[in-house]
Amino acid sequence: MKEEIILSQEQIKSISSLIEENNREVPLFYEGDVCEIIYVPVDGAELRVFHHKPKNPLTQRPILFVSGFGTSPWSWRHFNTVMYEKGEYYFLETREKSSSKFLTKRRKTKMSIDQNAKDLAQVIKYLGLDKSDFLLFGTSYCGAIILVGLANKYFTAPIIAIHDPLESWKVQRRMLLFFFYIPPFVLSFLKMPFARLILLGLKNKAAKKRYLDFVRNATVWKWIRSGWHNFSFKIDKYLPLINEEVLVLHGTKDRYHNDEVFENIARNLPKGRYFYMDSPNEFRELIVGIFALELAKKSQKEDISDSFKVFEYKLKEVIQNS
């Protein structure tokens, strides 16, 4: 067993200060005129993108941010809490999100991680980011989409960061078979009672609220097709094929996010770097925003500042503690 990484009191104090500094009242990014809404055409679909561009940004590059599987804008509102009027960003919703529009019949709709990576390449080009300096940042499922796209050479980016990337598909095939024979409208009716039953043992209120929102916004048929197209997915085979430096951020700890998994992903990337910033669960998205803002402030030739390097763990040191 690997020895658990425990933050020092100085690191904990630094994270608390960052949270206090950035946790402010701002408008919701998906309401009003905070963002321009763009629909980007991709293979057989259109994907929604929120674009926020401050008049006087503190950052030197825009961020293309891609949130995890099925998440709603509400669940990532605290990303904008950090970025509002400070940094330009594009918030992309991938094809399993409720906002995606499909031009093909359901049975012909492609929902694989590889297809999502191809979509991401088209979005980067459509937004003109392929010819500019930008930060590409993805979380969970969409962190895996970024890694697959890099491995398959669909796109690249000057700076790349991922947060708690998906290691493998967690829904078993027999469960997918069970869902396959239930009409989607029935599953849509049952999804919330089922979710509340599953989450009965989860004591953290912030995490429970996030997961319930996750299920509430689910488009059932998109989720089922995603499951069928990804049930054998494992990230391991893609990692050695990636030439770019990738910053892997982990935090917050909970029963669904094992820190050893994300260390191993960073270790198996040829140019992986591992950062650990633990915080209370309700500030999970805020920490991601804080890390993204820091990366976007730097020029392409500058490394991350010393105040954030204290959260980086050299992977050879992690191995020695194994």
**pLDDT, tens digit, for every residue of 56-91?**
999 999 999 999 999 999 999 999 999 999 999 999
Predicted confidence at residue 4, as pLDDT, reads 76
> Which residue in this structure is represented by tokens 């991709």?
42
- Give the pLDDT of residue 319: 44
In 10 A of CB 216, how many CB atoms?
13
> Topology of domain 9-168+233-320, per CATH?
Rossmann fold (3.40.50)
Instruction: To the nearest 10°, report the CA torsion of 218, 214, 163, 7.
Output: -170
pLDDT one-digit tens code per residue, 4-63: 788 999 999 999 999 999 999 999 999 999 999 999 999 999 999 999 999 999 999 999
Range 88-116 average pLDDT = 95
* Residue boundaries of the structural domains of the chain: 9-168+233-320
**Which run of H or E residues covers position 91?**
strand 89-92
Helices assigned H by DSSP within the chain? 9-22, 77-83, 113-126, 141-151, 173-180, 184-198, 205-216, 220-230, 259-268, 284-297, 306-309, 315-320
Over residues 90-111, the mean pLDDT reads 94
pTM value? 0.91
pLDDT of 322 reads 39
What pLDDT shows up at residue 28? 97
What are the pLDDT digits (tens) for 225-275? Answer: 999 899 899 999 999 999 999 999 998 776 666 778 999 999 999 999 999
For 25, counting Cβ atoms within 10 Å of its Cβ (0-12 exposed, 13-18 middle, 19+ buried), the class is exposed
Q: Give mean pLDDT, residues 146-151.
A: 98
d(CA 205, CA 166): 23
Q: Tens digit of pLDDT for each residue in 173-219? A: 556 656 666 777 777 877 778 778 878 877 878 778 878 887 888 88
Name the least confident of 78-82, 164-168, 220-224, 274-278: 220-224
pLDDT reading at 139 higher than 60:
yes
Residue 37: which residues within 8 A CB-CB, separation 6 or more? 48, 49, 50, 51
Sign, CA torsion 57/58/61/64 = negative
pLDDT of residue 292: 98
| pLDDT bracket for residue 132 (50, 70, 90) | very high
For 211-232, the DSSP string reads: HHHHHHT--HHHHHHHHHHHTT
pLDDT given at position 37: 98
* pLDDT on residue 120: 98
Q: According to the model, what pLDDT value does residue 264 have?
A: 94
